[in-house]
Chain A
Amino acid sequence: MRRLEADVVIIGGGATGAGVFRDCCLRGMRSILVERNDIASGTTGRNHGLLHSGARYVVTDSHSAAECIRENRTLKHIAGHCIEKTDGLFISLPEDGLSYQQDFINGCARAGIPTEILTPQQALQLEPSVNPALIGAVRIPDGTIDPFRITSANILDAREHGGTLLSDTKAVGLIIRMGHVQGIQCRDQRTGELFEIRARQVINATGAWCHEVMEYADLSVDMYHSRGALLIMGHRLNGMVINRCRKPGDADILVPGDTVSVIGTTSTHVGRHELETLEVTDEEVRVLLEEGSKLAPEMMNARVLRAYCGVRPLVSLSSDGSDRTISRGLVAIDHAESDALPGLITITGGKLMTYRLMAEVATDMAVRHLGVSEKCSTASKPLPGALLSDQDKSKGKNVQVGGYSLADSSLPKTVAGSAVYRHGERAKDFVKEDSKWCNAVVCECEVVTRGEILYAVDQLNARSLSDLRRRTRVGMGPCQGEMCACRTAGLLAESRSDQIDALDTLQDFIEERWKGVRPVLWGDGLREAEFSYWVQEGLLGLGSLRQQATCAANAVDTTADHTTADHTAQDEERTA
């Protein structure tokens, strides 16, 4: 059996795992991160993308609120290219009354969150999409954060500091010798190969799935899995984040992000066995639209692009009922202390906002055992891509990166601008004028170029269309990858044909997009879906290819000897 060695092995490629990975690498530890699917493919990629100010929690959970505002400031500094400093409003509607507003303002003051009380007129002026029936508003420093981008930036930095990323790799067991955890057993999800990673510390950063890893050591944790459903609107309705100023409830936050707005969430308890089969229900769609349009009435007329849901990894520390009362605070368990099982650390609970802090706490635990003296630097060192100032970014095309000026380029501002918006100064790695084919626009909705696709494949470890979507936004726009999915699959086949089955990944991508479109299939969404169906099935016959392949597989059984021989001969011929 193949065996790898490291100081630390991290299980889970969400924001937290990626944060631990970076922290460990920056502190000089040899680190390997294993992720069973792709980075940010679990809870990390299935939330609002809200850069909390903490204000949401000031009344119910002051500890989380204080954590949030600290991290809010830190992330604005280290991850500028993943963040929009939009600010947010907490609006009171007539049915809410103003009584909550006073508790809210007092809570913000306690947590150190700056507030500004606005009249309804002032609020409407700042944010024209807000419900004009509002009776009061408070401005707080909410913002937006791209969860894919920040995870990817953490991974990129870790790899540039010597870390190894193994995606499509599932941890299937812990190696426990003499009462010590000494590493993990893994399976390569693509080849099925089993192998070992020996490490002095294993950090379980699998969030909502952390009980699975703990069970490998016969440990248990009382997870409360809370599902939250969200809707993506077809265009950007609001400039600022809009919250409802009342106790946390369904559909009370509308977050803008890139070209869209996201309304959420709901909160439903789900059993651990339902984690892999989550689907948004019609009832959830109804609640989100009804409640959401109270924040911004324009939502009634907007197209709903897709629906999705994620699972919060809440840890139940008491047996008290509803999940909204369970703390959003982080839970770090050093199993050396709690279970007399050295070598294993679990980091869970928490939220996207506090991923860096969670990573710091977990890494601090690890270094104590490993005798590493290096202090955490992730709160001060900017992530790759975050070196440009806000001013640089807003100028888009006029960005000067490492002696290369986008201002002199003949590129359309949208092309250069989108690249810099998503990748900061790293855009220089693929926005090149000398290679003309690099700037071809593959995805028109999100202005993703051929160069950006190839960069994500080479530098950001993208191996499928969905991986590319998470790193570049390809296929995320209003058309949901109608044609760009096919073009991108062609490029993938071109670039890494040995590792990727372009058709498989194209079919998977199409089905994944469909999952989110199906619950909101009406109006223009249906028109778009019909068009996609004509193109992908009617014109290209992608579905019938799958059926042809099945027929082929059946046919092979009867003529196996003959065709296999033929095939091999053919392959040799082509290699020669």
Chain B
Amino acid sequence: MIHECLIVGGGLAGLTAGIRCAEAGLKVAVVSGGESALTFASGSIDVLGSIPGQPVVRRPFDAIDCLAELSPGHPYAKIGREKVFQSLGWFHGQMAEVGLELGLASDCRENQWRITAAGSLRPTWLSQPATKAMPWECFHGDGACLQKVVFVNITGFLDFMPELAMCGLKQHPSFRSVAVEHFNINLPLEHGHGATADTMRAPQLASAMGDRDMDILARVLSERVQDAELVVMPACFDPDLGCNRLQKLRQRTGLNIIDIATLPPSVHGLRLHKALRNRFRALGGFLIPGTEVRHGTVDGDRVMSVSTGEDLLSADHFILASGSFFSKGLQSVKESMSDPCSVQEPVFNLDLHSWADQPKDFSSHQFLAPEGQNFVRSGVALNQSGQPMVAGKGLHNLHVSGAVLGGYDPVQECSGGGVAISTGWQAAENVICQVKGQQV
């Protein structure tokens, strides 16, 4: 079967591109190698939260102009502010189509806050359904809108650390005068088959909970929490897209409960991944899971096919959304013991943003360094027309999106989700434009 578009990578960027292509009526397939990085993501969509040397970004789309000026090689710079906004708005709608209502700030061009399991506050643009109570004013400046926050964990569950989160939250200026407390609730875990919470990761805990557990949670929360404006719990309630249990718990207790991403695997991240796959399939996209693309064949300025080692997959257009090092979209290789290591894009051997090749130049002295890590910024470089290159020569029918791209720092900038979505969407738009152009 010849696809009009074949996408390498089934994470946020690849599936976004796939959904857009399928929506436009293209015959599209996504080849996915394994676990997506979404498995350990927060499930919120960050667009832009930080620009070096500037205060935390409140209006991410407006800040893109400034970012583009500072770093013209940034993927956002190539797409432009309005298209980034357009693509993310479109994405929000697509997720709603399959029942995942991601939360926006009341001004949809503004960021909101995400509380992390270590008590840090990270700016984000779209939040998971139950997390929408975190408008910007809440924690900015003197943050007087809260008196008391309570962290509640399930007894024994190791991947949510309330004590740590409390320490973290108290470090933030706007929480200095806020009372922060915590307690645990012991649950029988109705569907846990006798296993206890201490042996479970968040998704297992979510499927182990039954109505009886929810009853206990509702009763204990109502009894023990009276005066807190915010109750923070681990995201371990709803493995499905609707978030009904947490909504119900909020109604029953009358409390403002939010569930936040735990240590991986994260229920929020898995939920987002599920929503993406559902939407892609619903639009007629073809998903090829568990298949790693190893090599691509290039003829002149065109990609002809990609190979999985066993099969040869052909298509008119290709989108590379293979992720960074963890997902093996990029590799750092040491050819021999005496050679320094070099970074490569393994499928097409695309030209990369160049970084010094000694391990130590590739990273910062501190791990949690304010200046970030260089290895995070490495990746595929694009030419003036936005095409990837092999030995300086642009490829016409290959488009690149997501973390395999270089020139940006998803972690320090808080831009990973937004770059994946906007570059995925843009890659799809390019393909659609070329396909429709040929048809005309």
Contacts and interface: CB of A to CB of B under 8 A. Distances in A.
A546 interface: yes
A494 B156 CA distance: 12
A436 B196 contact: yes
Interface string A283-305: 00010011001000000100000
Given A503-B164, A534-B326, A548-B121, A436 B359 contact: no
Given A494-B163, A497-B163, A510-B367, A566 B263 contact: no
A507 interface: yes
Contacts of A548: 120-121, 171-173
A490 B158 contact: yes
B118 A486 contact: yes
B118 A541 contact: yes
A487 B159 contact: yes
Interface string A205-228: 000000000000000000000000
Contact of B360 (A436, A519, A523, A533): A519
A501 B171 CA distance: 12
The A interface, classified by DSSP as helix, strand, loop or mixed, is: helix
Contact of A534 (B37, B341, B367): B37
A543 B338 contact: no
Given A521-B359, A535-B263, A527 B168 contact: no
Interface stretch (B84-92, B101-109, B205-213, B368-376): B368-376
B122 A490 contact: no
A493 B118 contact: no
Nearest to A307: B359
B391 interface: no
B228 interface: no
A522 B362 CA distance: 10
B255 interface: no
A537 B42 CA distance: 12
A523 B362 CA distance: 13
A322 interface: no
Nearest to B176: A563
B411 A537 contact: yes
B368 A503 contact: no
Interface in B319-374: 324-326, 328, 331-334, 337-338, 340-341, 358-360, 362-363, 365-370, 373
B143 to A, nearest CB: 11
A547 interface: yes
Give the one of A497, A548, A570 with max B CB within 10 A. Answer: A548
B211 to A, nearest CB: 24
B173 A501 contact: no
B416 A542 contact: no
Interface in B129-166: 155-156, 158-159, 161-164
Contacts of A545: 118-120, 168, 171
A541 B363 contact: no
B150 to A, nearest CB: 12
Interface in A505-535: 506-507, 510-511, 513-514, 518-523, 526-527, 529-535
Interface stretch (A49-57, A92-100, A549-557): A549-557
B24 interface: no
A498 B326 CA distance: 38
Nearest to A567: B176
A544 interface: yes
B177 interface: yes
B359 A544 contact: no
A541 B412 CA distance: 9
Interface residues of A, number: 68
A273 to B, nearest CB: 20
B198 interface: yes
A242 interface: no
A556 B326 CA distance: 40
Contact of B366 (A440, A483, A502, A514): A514
B438 to A, nearest CB: 39
Nearest to A289: B337
A486 B164 contact: yes
Contact of B359 (A293, A518, A535, A555): A518
Contacts of B42: 538-539
A440 B156 contact: yes
B173 A490 contact: no
Contacts of B358: 282
A513 B366 CA distance: 10
Contacts of A535: 40, 263-264
Given A487-B161, A566-B177, A541 B121 contact: yes
Counting contact residues on chain B (CB < 8 A from A), the size range is 35 or more
A170 interface: no
Contacts of B246: none
Contact of A518 (B173, B199, B263, B360): B360
Contacts of B70: none
Contacts of B158: 440, 442, 450, 487, 490
Interface string A467-499: 000000000000000010011011001100100
A511 B362 CA distance: 16
Contacts of A340: none
A513 B177 CA distance: 34
B179 interface: yes
A437 B368 contact: no
A286 B176 contact: no
Contacts of A567: 176-177
Contacts of A506: 118, 164
A542 B55 CA distance: 18
Contact of A540 (B118, B324, B337): B118
B368 to A, nearest CB: 3
Given A526-B325, A541-B118, A489 B375 contact: no
A487 B263 contact: yes
Given A487-B263, A490-B158, A537-B411, A546 B368 contact: yes
B430 interface: no
B373 A533 contact: yes
B368 A507 contact: yes
Interface in A336-381: none
Interface-centre pick from B118, B362, B369, B412 (highest chain A CB count, 10 A): B118
B119 A526 contact: no
Contact of B261 (A290, A502, A510, A539): A539
A536 B118 CA distance: 9
B280 to A, nearest CB: 24
B116 interface: yes
A503 B170 CA distance: 11
A534 B120 contact: no
Nearest to B165: A490
Nearest to B177: A566
B359 to A, nearest CB: 4
Counting from the closest, the 5 A-B pairs by CB-CB distance are A541-B120, A543-B368, A490-B161, A440-B198, A493-B163
12 contacts: A282-B340, A282-B360, A286-B337, A486-B164, A487-B159, A493-B164, A503-B168, A510-B367, A518-B365, A521-B363, A534-B40, A545-B119
Given A490-B163, A526-B332, A545-B118, 13 more contacts: A437-B156, A493-B161, A502-B164, A503-B167, A534-B40, A534-B41, A534-B326, A539-B41, A539-B264, A539-B266, A542-B368, A543-B367, A545-B119
